[in-house]
Structure 1
Amino acid sequence: MERAPSAAGFAPAGWMLEEQAAGDLDGDGRADLVMVFRGQDPALVVTHDGLGEPRLDTNPRILAVAFAEPAGGYRLVLQDAALIGRRVDPVLTDPYEAQGISVARGSFRLQLGRFASVGSWGAERRTFTFRWQDGGFALIGYDQFSMQRNSGATQELSVNYSTGRASIETGDNESTATKKRWVTLSQRPLQVLPQIGYGLDFRHGVPGVD
Structure 2
Amino acid sequence: MFKRINAVFLLTICSSICVANQTPSALKKFIPNDWEILSQANGDLNQDGAQDTALIIQPKHKNQQQRKLLVLFQSTQQPQQQLQLKLARNIPNWTYRANEQCVEDALDESALTIKNQRLDLQFNTSPSCANTYGFIHTYGFKLKNKQFHLVGFDTYSLDKLTGKQDQISLNFLTGKAKLTTIPNIFAEIETPAKVIWKTLKSTSNDTLENISFASDEFNHQFSMQYIGEKP
Alignment of 1:11 with 2:21, yes or no, is: no
Q: Which residue does the alignment assign to 2:161? A: 150
What is the percentage of aligned positions where both structures have the same residue? 22
Moved more, 114-123 or 60-69: 114-123
Q: Which residue does the alignment assign to 1:182? A: 197
Contact 1:33 1:66 in 2 (8 A): yes
- CA 189–100 in structure 1, closer or farther in 2 if over 3 Å, else same: closer
More strand per residue: 1 or 2? 1
1:27 deviates by: 1.3
Alignment of 1:115 with 2:135, yes or no, is: no
Q: Which residue does the alignment assign to 2:49? A: 29
Moved more, 151-160 or 76-85: 76-85
Moved more, 189-198 or 104-113: 189-198
**Distance (Å, rounded) in 2 between the aligned partners of 1:60 and 1:206:** 33
TM-score (normalised: structure 1): 0.82
Contact 1:35 1:63 in 2 (8 A): yes
Q: Which residue does the alignment assign to 1:102? A: 113
Letter in 1 for 2:39: E
Please point out which of 69, 72, 76 is paired with 1:63. Answer: 69
Q: Which runs of 4+ in 1 moved over 6 A?
A: none
Q: Quote the RMSD (CA, aligned, Å).
A: 2.3
1:41 deviates by: 4.5
Q: Which residue does the alignment assign to 1:208? A: 229
More helix per residue: 1 or 2? 2
**Which structure 1 segments of 5+ residues have no match?**
45-57
Q: How many equivalent pairs are there?
A: 193
Q: Secondary structure at the match of 1:147?
A: strand
- CA 144–78 in structure 1, closer or farther in 2 if over 3 Å, else same: same
Q: Secondary structure at the match of 2:125?
A: strand
Q: Which residue does the alignment assign to 2:8? A: none
TM-score (normalised: structure 2): 0.75
**Which structure 2 segments of 5+ residues have no match?**
1-23
1:5 deviates by: 6.7
Q: Secondary structure at the match of 1:115?
A: coil
Letter in 1 for 2:81: G
Letter in 1 for 2:54: V
- CA 5–138 in structure 1, closer or farther in 2 if over 3 Å, else same: farther
**Distance (Å, rounded) in 2 between the aligned partners of 1:39 and 1:94:** 15
Letter in 2 for 1:176: T
Q: Which residue does the alignment assign to 1:77? A: 86
1:18 deviates by: 2.6
**Distance (Å, rounded) in 2 between the aligned partners of 1:78 and 1:106:** 16
Residues 146-184 of structure 1: CA distance to partner in whole angstroms, max 9, x if unpaired? Answer: 011122111011110111101001122123321110110
Please point out which of 72, 96, 110 is paired with 1:86. Answer: 96
1:120 deviates by: 6.1
Letter in 1 for 2:166: Q
Residues 97-122 of structure 1: CA distance to partner in whole angstroms, max 9, x if unpaired? Answer: 22221111111112221122456601
